[in-house]
């Protein structure tokens, strides 16, 4: 069945969050899902905004946490450690939804969270953490792809970091020809509530 925009008016706040959390959870587990990739925005030390594509790795709806993976040497990790306010953004054209989350990020490196996530990471993904050059290093030529490590090879673990993003609210915009539906969902409340906003 073709996906279509959710009718938020028919759902209510709790059901809308439950539906979205289900989609995000599915997206973390499938590279084919339209929400698998997102934009992570942060603010550099001088106030310049910086945005980049990342992979959605894990969603804990009740804990209000989204996890991403990154190379600890990448500039964003140092930035986020100093300025943990980040924004997460998705647009999914089949579902015709935009999702925006303002979050506070924590970097896990060399701890149990990083170790557990590493253990669940596939060899193909682990390969990118074995590179000699840190992300953003100036090079004389394009590098070759890193070799796929053998199962159980922890060579990249020293460079592997988990970015944990915690949040209290989620903004969801659902596009409909009959009238767009935009809500600010308070997912930290029991029951979940929302504010309806002009789109």
Ligand X SMILES: Cc1cc2nc3c(=O)[nH]c(=O)nc-3n(C[C@H](O)[C@H](O)[C@H](O)COP(=O)(O)O)c2cc1C
Residue 12 or 75 having the CB closest to ligand X: 75
Which positions touch ligand X (CB under 6 A)?
37, 50, 52-55, 68-71, 74-76, 135-136
Shortest distance (Å) from residue 50 CB to ligand X:
5
| Environment class of 44 (CB within 10 Å of its CB; exposed 0-12, middle 13-18, buried 19+) | middle
CB count in 10 Å sphere of residue 99? 20
Shortest distance (Å) from residue 135 CB to ligand X:
5
Residue 95 CB partners (closer than 8 Å, separation 6+)? 3, 4, 5, 6, 23, 34, 35, 174
**Rg of the chain, C-alpha, whole Å:** 18
Residue 159 or 182 having the CB closest to ligand X: 159
Shortest distance (Å) from residue 73 CB to ligand X:
9
Shortest distance (Å) from residue 163 CB to ligand X:
8
Residue 9 or 55 having the CB closest to ligand X: 55
Residue 143 CB partners (closer than 8 Å, separation 6+)? 131, 133
Q: Determine the 3-state secondary structure of 86 from DSSP.
A: strand
Residue 14 or 37 having the CB closest to ligand X: 37
């Amino acid at each position: 069945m073709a996906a279509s925009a959710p009718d938020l008016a028919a759902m209510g706040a709790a059901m809308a969050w439950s539906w979205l959390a289900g989609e995000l959870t599915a997206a973390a587990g499938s590279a084919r899902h339209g929400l698998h990739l997102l934009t992570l925005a942060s603010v550099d030390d001088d106030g310049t905004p910086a945005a980049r594509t990342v992979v959605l790795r894990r969603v804990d709806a009740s804990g209000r946490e989204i996890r991403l993976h990154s190379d600890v040497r990448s500039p964003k990790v140092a930035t986020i450690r100093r300025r943990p306010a980040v924004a997460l953004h998705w647009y999914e054209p089949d579902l015709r939804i935009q999702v925006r989350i303002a979050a506070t990020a924590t970097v896990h490196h060399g701890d149990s969270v990083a170790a557990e996530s590493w253990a669940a990471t596939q060899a193909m993904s682990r390969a990118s953490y074995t590179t000699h050059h840190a992300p953003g290093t100036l090079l004389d030529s394009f590098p070759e792809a890193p070799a796929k490590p053998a199962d159980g090879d922890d060579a990249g673990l020293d460079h592997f970091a988990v970015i944990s993003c915690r949040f209290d609210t989620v903004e969801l915009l659902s596009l409909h020809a009959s009238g767009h539906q935009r809500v600010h969902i308070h997912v930290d409340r029991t029951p979940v509530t929302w504010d309806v906003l002009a789109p």
